[in-house]
Amino acid sequence: MSFVHQAQGRIEETGDRATPARVRVLAFLLAQHAAVTHHQIEVALDRQEKIDRVTLYRTLDWLTGKGLVHKVVSLDRAWLFRVNDSDLGHHRHAHFKCNDCAKVICLDEPPADRTVPPVPAGYRALEVEVTVTGLCPRCA
């Protein structure tokens, strides 16, 4: 099955419209083996047919809100986007980030201890993010 057909099917499962922008962005993310930035998505999609920057932001927000995509912040504070293939959901898995090339991948196994450390009175914890840093095979 092509990435476009997979994307269309996943979007239709939400009960919402499979717009061309949603399908293009999700299909692109399905083809990626690592998390990518908004800019990387924009550049790659512009090679085929220009996609408006605001439309891309809104599409990524929609995909994230529907749980089809998750985002993680890199050490340079840029958002990275990745298809949410895990049955565990984004809030229940960890990431690996290469210190040299900044590649970020999702780790298949959930962290053993997902407990939230105590937070000050009045704060409300929503999730715990775990990021393992080191060197990827290419950089090692």
The predicted structure's pLDDT at residue 111 = 66
Residue-wise pLDDT for 70-116, tens only, equals 888 776 778 889 898 754 344 556 778 888 887 777 777 766 666 67
The total of other beta-carbon atoms located within 10 Å of residue 108's CB is: 10
Whether 53 contacts 42, CB under 8 Å: yes
Q: What is the pTM of this model?
A: 0.70
Residue 104 has what pLDDT?
A: 77
Q: Which domains does the chain have, with CATH numbers?
A: 3-134 (1.10.10.10)
Alpha-carbon span 128 to 5, nearest angstrom: 33
Helix 38-46 to helix 53-65 angle, to the nearest 10 degrees? 120
- pLDDT at residue number 100: 84
Is 130's pLDDT higher than 80? Answer: no
**Average pLDDT of the chain, as a whole number:** 84
